[in-house]
Amino acid sequence: MADAHMAKSMFGNQKPKMPFNTCTLSEREIEVVRLICKQLTIKEIAKTLCLSTRTIDTYKENIYTKTGAKNTVGVVFYAIEHSLLS
């Protein structure tokens, strides 16, 4: 929750417009979101999950679409707002 508080203090009550909720993300997509939030590169995520970089790119594109994020920062905000970080 400290992360959510920090985001709120940085951006006030302005919330990113993210039309979907966490249940629209698959377990694998949530796993990719968590690794993105740990600042891993696509190549590092692929190696960690034993998948190709193209597969991770596809997951990332789907995550952007489902969360309404325009970039990695948007994905991080989504993760904070939906308590996806452990």
Domains contained in the chain, CATH given: 26-86 (1.10.10.10)
Taking the C-alpha atoms of 44, 73, 70 and 82 in order, what is their torsion angle to the nearest 10 degrees? 100
Average pLDDT on 5-31 reads 66
Please tell me the predicted confidence (pLDDT) of residue 18.
45
Q: What pLDDT sits at residue 82?
A: 92
Rounded Cα distance between 63 and 52, Å, is 17
Highest mean pLDDT among 9-13, 20-24, 72-76: 72-76
> What is the pLDDT of the chain when averaged over all its residues?
85
Label residue 24 by pLDDT band (50, 70, 90): confident
Q: What is the value of pTM for the model shown?
A: 0.74
36 Cβ contact list (under 8 Å, min separation 6): 45, 60, 63, 72, 75, 76, 79
**From CA 26, how far away is CA 19, in angstroms rounded?**
16
Mean pLDDT of 76-85: 94
